[in-house]
Amino acid sequence: MEPTEQNLLNLLASGDNTAFESLFKAHFKSLHGYAIGLLQDESTAEEMVQQVFFKIWERRQRLKVHTSFKAFLYRAVHNECINFLKQLQNKAKYRGYMQHAQRQNMFTQNVEAGMEAAELSRRLQLAIGELPEQCGLIFCLSRFEELKYREIAVKLGISVKTVEAQVTKAMKLLKKKLAL
């Protein structure tokens, strides 16, 4: 290790801001270039190098450099970048898992909704079958064949008021039977 860097590290350990700034300025540019090579993103690389220097400042009193300070910094930046990439990978896996879970949930909801609709349709058909004959016929013509009350009255030879009354009666009975 160069004597000046050793002196700067000793000053850094005692909390000297100027020593920290000197070390930062001396190594930032090359470390930033190295991090860009690893991450392929300039701003993230800058963030990783700054994070390394932040950790150095936080741990300045306990900092032990057994190799050259430059090698120490490169290893620290390398580790910071690898950890960042692992976090990205984990986030991507989590997003994939969540998207899969959401698709499964939507599929389950669609299946359940389909089953509920089929059950409701079955119950409705049974309930319509239990209506008085003319009441059921008028209801079906109104709701399923979408005929107007006047058209039903003409088709069955009854009054429009009778059609209205029978549809109202059918609705009341079906609501009771289906508990809607």
When computed from its CA atoms, the radius of gyration of the chain, rounded to whole angstroms, is 39
Looking at residue 112, the DSSP 8-state letter turns out to be H
What does the block give as tokens for 50? 């700054």
| pLDDT (mean) for 89-105 | 79
What does the pLDDT look like over 118-132, one tens digit per residue? 888 888 888 888 889
Does residue 100 carry a pLDDT above 60?
Answer: yes
Q: Inform me whether the pLDDT recorded for 116 exceeds 90.
A: no
What does the pLDDT read at residue 162?
A: 94
Q: What is the mean pLDDT of residues 37-48?
A: 92
**98, HSE (Cβ side, Cα atoms, 13 Å):** 6
Cα-based distances in Å from 166 to 90, 120, 135, 173: 64, 22, 5, 10
CB atoms near residue 94 (< 10 Å) = 10
Residue in the block written with tokens 């930046």: 77
pTM higher than the cut 0.75: no
Q: Quickly state the pLDDT bin for 180 (edges 50, 70, 90).
A: low
